[in-house]
Structure 1
Amino acid sequence: MLNVSRGYSLIELLVVLGILGLLATLAMPMAEMTVQRERERELRRAVWEIRDAIDAYKKARDTGAVVESSPSHYPPTLAALTELRDDARADRLGQPIRFLRRVPRDPFAPADLPAERTWGLRSYQSEAGRPQPGVDVYDVYSLSDRVGLNGVPLRDW
């Protein structure tokens, strides 16, 4: 009878480990790109949500639903979008209005900052190419210096 030993040799184990290491090395950039893509998707969604709320606030000011003392019809701060207000129009007097439940965070901002401070603010009076904060919030942008997968800096989204 022939006595055959079962198992793997050291060389077979090293070849398998080498192949697994190579596959892991190839998979890492794909995993990093997937994480980047998801964060960019969150950023796009957050910017759209805030911009929609700013537009709704302006429309409410234009129609008289929101009454403020400032001459601008845009919100004075991002926090103003989350405040519960009473509708000032006669046909809807006293009905509550809120434009955002909470200010979304910029997913590329440091985690220790409050959500409101993760955004760059552009006033209505500032130029699009050089956004500056002012007495109102006309637009928001990411403060990140990173470039998106599409080649456009995140600040310009």
Structure 2
Amino acid sequence: MTSFPHRHKSVVRDARLQRGFTLIELIVATAILLILTGMAVPLFRASVQRERERELHADLWMLRDAIDRYYDAAARGAFQTKVGSDQYPPDLETLVTGVDVGGKKLKFLRKIPIDPMTGKPEWGMRSTQDDPTSDSWGGQNVFDVYSKSQGTALDDTKYKDW
């Protein structure tokens, strides 16, 4: 049986070199992971904000559509509205509870959605008599709705101006 001494020395040397990660390797690997995580967090936050903005757009569209359908039904004479209301709903709750039409309830909205920016089912409202730039609601009717959030969107517009 022949011995291979040169092979044995190389195996021993390789075993010594491959005992484990050095401290430098661990620090470098940790630094790379921290950098990658640091880059991912802002992207994640932006995607969460973008999704909340999409939800706000959808909720505003749904509320405004319900107001328009109420107005159209009132303009057609399907039901009577209060004098001075300009045929718009008196409040958002009326869109949910509905109005009596020939012994049946005509509803325009299932529920008042939660504002995704404030986390509350509260919306700013404007009546036809209010100034378009006013943040206070006169209470005569609901002509338009907006978010009460003071935040700024990704496109640098204010949510309350949507």
Q: Smaller-chain TM-score range?
A: 0.7 to 0.9
Which amino acid letter does the alignment assign opposite residue 156 of structure 1?
D
The question of whether the paired residues in 1 share the 8 Å contact of 2:146 and 2:160 is answered with yes
Q: Which moved more, 1:127-136 or 1:21-30?
A: 127-136
Cα distance between partner residues in 2 of 1:108 and 1:130: 20
Cα distance between partner residues in 2 of 1:96 and 1:146: 37
Find the residue that maps to 2:63 and give its secondary structure. helix
Unaligned 5+ segments in structure 1 are 88-92
**Map 1:5-154 → 2, pairs under 5 A:** 5-72=18-85, 73-87=87-101, 93-109=102-118, 111=119, 113=120, 115=121, 118-133=122-137, 134-154=139-159
Corresponding residue for residue 3 of structure 2: none
Find the residue that maps to 1:86 and give its secondary structure. strand
Find the residue that maps to 1:59 and give its secondary structure. helix
Find the residue that maps to 2:124 and give its secondary structure. strand
The question of whether the paired residues in 2 share the 8 Å contact of 1:123 and 1:131 is answered with no
Name the % identity: 41
Which amino acid letter does the alignment assign opposite residue 145 of structure 2?
V
Q: CA deviation at 1:6?
A: 4.3
Determine which structure has more spread, i.e. the larger CA radius of gyration.
Answer: 2
Corresponding residue for residue 4 of structure 2: none
Task: Give the aligned length.
Answer: 147
